Amino acid sequence: MSVLLIAEHNNKEVRPFTLNAITAASQMDGDVHVLLIGNNCGDVAKLLSEMPAVKKVLHAEAPHYENYLAENFAPLVVKVSENYSHIVSSANTFGKNLMPRIAAHLDISQVSDITKVISADTFIRPIYAGNAFATVKSTDTKKCITIRPTSFEPCETSGGSAPIEKIEATEEFTLSKFIKREEVKSDRPELGTARIVVSGGRGMQNGENFKLITDIADKLNAAIGASRAAVDAGYISNEHQVGQTGKVVVPDLYIAVGISGAIQHLAGMKESKIIVAINKDGEAPIFSVADYGLEADLFEALPQFLEELNKLNSIQK
Amino acid sequence: MKILVAVKRVIDYNVQVRVKEDGTGVVTDNVKMSSNPPDDNAIEEAVKIKEAGKATEIIAITVGEEKSQETVRKALAVGADRGILIKTEGTVEPLAVAKALQKIVEKEKPDLVFMGKQAIDDDCNQTGQMLSALLNWPQATFASKIEIKDRTLEVTREIDEGLETIEVNLPAIVTCDLRLNEPRYASLPNIMKSKKKPLEILTAADLGVDITPRVQQIKVEEPPKRKAGIKVASVAELVSKLKNEAKVI
């Protein structure tokens, strides 16, 4: 049996977490087929076929696949799933929205957000905001799995030549309609894959003060993160939120500024290689996970930090 | 319009969860339990819709052990009209919860089903999507804004790239984000009144639903501990450490 991997893309490019999902899928079974569902997405089919870990690309096109509505995607996945032992996608908002709909149609108890593949039916996944890790074994004949992208390396993207097989589209689900998507365009690295993340919390006090974070992020070529408190307060938009109900990040360097370190925030960043905490409250829980803690007023520390960075001869990119 | 709101009793979000020494799960004895936070947003939204005169009845439902009645009572205190507990023992997976909810939906025929986008205990993020699949209804997940139109709902969803707006026909399932609204506290008189509101208790067997787990939990472990870090005295020292010791910048 083979693994069916559902590609996430924007009809032009493969979204980066698809690469991590392909790696995870290939650890379940070497025969990974990628299902590409979209509209005018021939270029994406080609990109996927060039990935050495991909053995076949199944390509379905229809206008109603343009905006990835789960109601339109799920029936096609169900139809294709017959010959597969595993159905896999990444546990980001794309996969979280889609996979349970597929699993319920197939009467499968899904395993969400795995961080490790032990064998074809046994996986490790975090529970309770990452305060515990459960080893679980699926007893369903077929498995529906979402994978935590930051726990798997991205796969190679060139050197392969998998066949592309066109498959028929399923009917449109007419009770749901896409209206619009408001994407924040940015030249910065994506939060989920950035090497360095600089995050601000409630201590930033307002949205304008995030400029202090932006300046440092620009200097370090870093992504900008935020605690839920900062997003709730309207300092910054939702796609920056790091934590249990936001994004999980595992950068080489995570700089937490004015973030107290609630369990729910730690869940999204405590696997980072190096953690820096800047906070004026020396008792803040963030210091318990920080490799380097600086007890200071961020409004003094951040300008100094930028000044010190400017003094360096070189900064890694 | 009738709204069904599904809620769950979980370990309180402020509790530092501990793994049991024998690796069979996490410690729940003498641990504070509360309603799952985004489920509070789900109840709040239903109550706001009723207050705006757009809904006539709110039913709060949970699937869980006897004590989960507390969570339904809390929903009743905040404004739900009646409650249902589907009494179970042990682990109930999202698929089983969705099947139980499906039976109730078929009986109660609500126009809308609300629930939190994810439970903060198992972090599965599945039940709402599964229920909409079983019913073949539209799904609006991770909702941070809801606008009721005539027989449709316009929902703003929080996605990785930013925000997405979709329109779904009723009946529909909506899973709620923490930013959907600000849940209210129940007043003491309302808590007293909620004790008189009807709460029906059923079992999975009554509904004819098989809730046997399909995923075996082999063991539960603590996450690897981070080694203790150091406090630096100045920004200059911090930058020097990052450059020369950690070698990350």
Rounded Cα distance between B110 and B104, Å, is: 9
Q: Which domain holds residue A210?
A: 196-311
Q: Are residues A201 and A298 located together in one domain of the fold?
A: yes
Give residues 190 to 209 of B whose Cβ lies within 8 Å of A.
none
pLDDT value for B224: 86
Q: Are residues A12 and A160 located together in one domain of the fold?
A: yes
Query: Euclidean distance between the first and final Cα of chain A, in Å?
Result: 42
Domain harbouring A87, CATH code: 3.40.50.620
CB contact under 8 A, B166 and A178: yes
Q: What is the pLDDT of residues A129-139, one digit of tens each?
A: 999 999 999 99
Q: Are residues A275 and A206 located together in one domain of the fold?
A: yes
Instruction: Decide if A259 is inside a domain.
Output: yes
Among B115, B135, B126, residue whose Cα is nearest residue B214? B126
Average pLDDT of every residue of chain B: 96
- Residues of chain B above pLDDT 70, percent: 100
Provide the sign of the torsion angle of the four alpha carbons A66, A240, A231, A98, taken in this order.
Answer: positive
| Number of domains present in the structure of chain A | 2
Domain harbouring B76, CATH code: 3.40.50.620
Q: How confident is the model at residue A185 (pLDDT cuts 50, 70, 90)?
A: confident
Instruction: Decide if A180 is inside a domain.
Output: no
Instruction: Decide if A183 is inside a domain.
Output: no
pLDDT value for A68: 96
Instruction: Decide if A187 is inside a domain.
Output: no
Q: What is the pLDDT of residues A277-316, one digit of tens each?
A: 999 999 999 999 999 999 999 999 999 999 999 999 888 8
φ and ψ at residue B126, rounded to 5 degrees: -130, -35
Q: Is B112 on the interface with A (CB under 8 A)?
A: no
pLDDT value for A313: 85
Rounded Cα distance between A28 and B189, Å, is: 56
Q: Which domain holds residue B175?
A: 2-245
Q: Is B122 on the interface with A (CB under 8 A)?
A: yes
Residues paired with B240 in a beta bridge: none
Q: Is the CB of residue A106 less than 8 Å from the CB of residue A144?
A: yes
Question: Using CB atoms, which residue from B17, B121, B124 is nearest to A112?
Answer: B124
Q: Are residues A17 and A139 located together in one domain of the fold?
A: yes
Q: Are residues A273 and A125 located together in one domain of the fold?
A: no
CB contact under 8 A, B129 and A104: yes
For B212, the closest chain A residue by CA position comes to A109
Q: Are residues A159 and A87 located together in one domain of the fold?
A: yes
Q: Is the CB of residue A192 less than 8 Å from the CB of residue A249?
A: yes
SS3 A271: coil
Instruction: Give the residue carrying structure tokens 């197939």.
Output: A106
User: Which residues of chain A make contact with B102, given a CB cutoff of 8 A?
Assistant: none
φ and ψ at residue A185, rounded to 5 degrees: -80, 135
Q: What is the pLDDT of residues B57-86, one digit of tens each?
A: 999 999 999 999 999 999 999 999 999 999
Provide the sign of the torsion angle of the four alpha carbons A130, B174, B148, B169, taken in this order.
Answer: positive
The residues near A121 (Cβ < 8 Å, ≥ 6 apart) are A137, A138, A139, A143
Q: Are residues A113 and A211 located together in one domain of the fold?
A: no
Q: Are residues A143 and A200 located together in one domain of the fold?
A: no
| Number of domains present in the structure of chain B | 1
Complex-level ipTM: 0.96
For testing contact with chain A, the best of B158, B210, B235 (most A CBs within 10 A): B235
How much is the pTM?
0.95
CB contact under 8 A, A131 and B16: yes
Domain harbouring A291, CATH code: 3.40.50.1220
Residues paired with B158 in a beta bridge: B163
CB contact under 8 A, A140 and B139: no
User: Which residues of chain B make contact with A151, given a CB cutoff of 8 A?
Assistant: none
Instruction: Decide if A185 is inside a domain.
Output: no
